[in-house]
Chain A
C-alpha cells in the first residue's frame, strides 16, 4: 500500500477538549478549546463537520466530492487541512 493510500485510510478525530460547533452570531463554524476559539472558513467547517472518529479520510473526501461536485482538488485540500489540524494538535489520526 502506498503512503498516499495509508493517509486516506486513517480516521481523524478531534482531540479531547476540542469542540466544533456552529456559531450563529459569528455566522461560521468554530473550534473551541481551553480558553480559545478558532473561526473556521467554509471549507474547513465542511471538513471538520465530518471529522467524527468514525469516518476515514477517504470517506470524508467522497462525501465532500458528492456534496460539492463542481469543486476541484478536494482530496488535496482535505489532506492538507487535516495535516495542519494535526500539526496544531486539534485532531489525531487513528
Chain B
C-alpha cells in the first residue's frame, strides 16, 4: 500500500513516520523482576516529565503519525496523573495500551481509566505458581493481586493481553501458564522469552533456558495453538523465541528509527527503550520537538538505512530482512553498536553467544541467586 521500504537500497530515503509510541512514564516500580528491561542505573536518571510535558509529547507524536501508544515504565500506575494522560491520549486518537504489573490498580481506578478511553490492558505475570511468581517479582501477594486485576479487566469487557517473561525457572511450567491465561480469558498471551538487556543481561546465566527446555516449550505452545484453533478460540499465543538460541538476528523493531519511538521518564527520546545505554547523545523532548528528533537528530539517523553497515552485513542478502539485528546487543556483546548483531552466525563475535549457550547448559544458577531490580542496587550500579 505504501511503496516506501522496498526501494531504499543505498541512497538515503526519508524515513516513514513513527507508528508506535512507548511512553515510559516512570522508572519507579513496586516489583523487582530480575529481567527488567529498564537501565541498570535507572535510579540515577533525571526528573520525570510533568503532566503537561507528557501531553505535549503525545500531541507531537500523534501529529507525526503515531497511532499505538503504550503507557509503560517502571510501573505506570505510580503516576498519579495517569488518568489524565489516558484521557488526553484518547482524545488525540491514539489506541491506548496500559502495560502494567497490575499492582496499584483498583476497581475504582480501572473504572476511571475505562471512562477516560483506555483501550487495552496488558498485565504481566511472572509464573503460574504463586510462590515462584512472588519470589521473581520480589513482592509478597503480587500474584493474588494480579489475578484479581486480570479478572476485573475482563469483567469490564476490556481486551487483555497477558505477558509472561519466560526463562529457565518458569519455562518448564509453560503448560500451566497457558492454562492459567486461558482461565483468565486473555485475548492474547505473550510468552516472551527473556531478551538480555538491562537487568536480564546482568542475570543472564540464571535466566537463559537450555535448548532442551526451549524445544519442549515451543512444542507445548504449538499443541495449545492447535487445540485453540480447533475450538475456534480467539486467544492468540505469541511465543517470542530467545535470539540467543538462533543463528540469525531478529529484525529488531523493524530497523532503527523505522516505526518505534520511546520516550523515557526524563523525556529522553529513544529509537528503542534499551538504547540509552549506547554511547550516543539522545535528544530530549524538553529541548527539541519530536519532528526534529525523529527526522533530523543525529541519534535517530545513526543506524537508519544500510549505509552505516560494515561487513558481514553490508554485502549480506538478508540485510533487508533483519537490518543487521539489534544495535544494543551488538554494543553489549562486541563493544560497538555498529557491528552485526553477534546472534548472527556470520558475526565474528558469535562465539559470545555460543559461550552463553554453553553456560546455560552447564552452570545455571538458582532462582534465589538472581539479582533483583530495585533502587538500592541500581544506585550502587549508577555510582559504579
Residues of A within 8 A of B (CB): 15-17, 19, 21, 23-28, 30, 32-37, 39, 41, 89
Tell me how far the C-beta of B59 lies from the nearest C-beta in chain A, rounded to whole angstroms: 14
Q: Chain B, 1-28, contact with A by CB distance < 8 Å: what is the 0/1 string? A: 1100000000000000101000000000
The answer to whether A17 touches B120 (Cβ under 8 A) is yes
* Cross-chain pairs A/B with CB under 8 angstroms, 26 sampled: A15-B234, A16-B158, A17-B187, A25-B64, A26-B2, A26-B17, A26-B65, A28-B1, A28-B2, A30-B67, A32-B67, A32-B95, A32-B119, A33-B95, A33-B159, A34-B120, A34-B161, A34-B187, A34-B188, A35-B70, A37-B67, A37-B68, A37-B95, A39-B1, A39-B2, A89-B234
Q: Are B17 and A35 in contact (CB under 8 A)?
A: no
For chain B, residues 114 to 168, give those with C-beta under 8 angstroms from any C-beta of chain A: 119-120, 122, 157-161
Which of B65, B122, B158 contacts A35 (CB under 8 A)? B122
Residue on B nearest A39 in the bound complex, by CB: B1
**How far apart are the CA atoms of A19 and B94 in the complex, in Å?**
10
Q: How far is the CA of A25 from the CA of B157 in the complex (A)?
A: 30
Chain B residue contacts of A28, Cβ below 8 A: 1-2
* Residues of A close to B157: CB separation below 8 A: 16
Place the interface of chain B in its size category: 20 to 34
Residues from chain B with Cβ under 8 Å of A32 in the complex? 67-68, 95, 119
- List residues of chain A with CB within 8 A of the CB of B68: 32, 35-37
Question: B97 in the interface, Cβ–Cβ < 8 Å?
Answer: yes
Q: In the complex, A34 Cα to B189 Cα: how many Å?
A: 11
Chain B residues proximal to chain A, CB less than 8 Å: 1-2, 17, 19, 64-65, 67-68, 70, 93, 95, 97, 119-120, 122, 157-161, 187-188, 234
| Prevailing SS type, chain B contact patch | loop
Contacts of B64 in A (CB 8 A): 25
- Is A21's CB under 8 angstroms from B159's CB? no
Which chain B residues lie closer than 8 Å to A19 at the CB level? 95, 119
Once A19-B95, A23-B65, A30-B67 are accepted as A-B contacts, the answer to whether A35 and B2 lie under 8 Å apart by CB is no
A19 and B69 CA atoms in complex are apart in Å by: 14
How far is B68's CA from A47's CA once the two chains are assembled, in angstroms?
Answer: 23
- B19 touching A37, Cβ below 8 Å: yes
A35–B67 CB distance below 8 A? no
What's the least CB distance linking A92 to chain B, in Å? 10
Distance from A35 Cβ to chain B, minimum over Cβ atoms (Å):
6
> How far is B94's CA from A34's CA once the two chains are assembled, in angstroms?
12
Q: Complex formed: what's the CA distance from A24 to B187 in Å?
A: 29
Which interface residue of A15, A24, A26, A35 has the most chain B CB atoms within 10 A? A35
Given contacts A25-B65, A34-B120, A37-B68, 20 further A-B contacts (CB under 8 A): A16-B159, A17-B119, A17-B120, A17-B158, A19-B119, A21-B67, A23-B65, A25-B17, A25-B64, A26-B17, A26-B67, A32-B67, A32-B119, A34-B119, A34-B188, A35-B120, A35-B161, A37-B67, A39-B1, A41-B1
